[in-house]
Amino acid sequence: LNRYKIGYMLTPAIASGSFALNCAYLGIPCIGYAKADTQRILFPDLAIDVFDNQKAAELTTRLMTDETFYNEIATKAQLIYSKEFTKHTMLNLLKQ
């Protein structure tokens, strides 16, 4: 995965959010459906409606041409990941 600059999770099957988690951990922006919790949490600026291919294309173009935007998305996702998806956080959720 770390060979790629942009991730895509454009499938209506939203039960698994591990792809967005992996992308965030590596600092790779991921475009995906807003119905997936991990997508919405980690990449709110790249969360799109189901089958909104036009928005996905627009975001892809922006990520490829706007280095500041790309870096903001990547950094934000890593920060959110390190805050919301730590071992400690997950253990607390399981205890609840």
Q: Residue 89: is its pLDDT beyond 90?
A: no
pLDDT in tens, 20-73: 999 999 999 999 999 999 999 999 999 999 999 999 999 999 999 999 999 999
Half-sphere exposure of 71 (CA within 13 A, CB side): 3
Spatial CB neighbours of 45, under 8 Å, sequence gap ≥ 6: 73, 76
Q: Give the tokens for residue 32.
A: 């995906």
pLDDT range class, residue 19, cuts 50, 70, 90: very high
The verdict on pTM exceeding 0.85 is yes
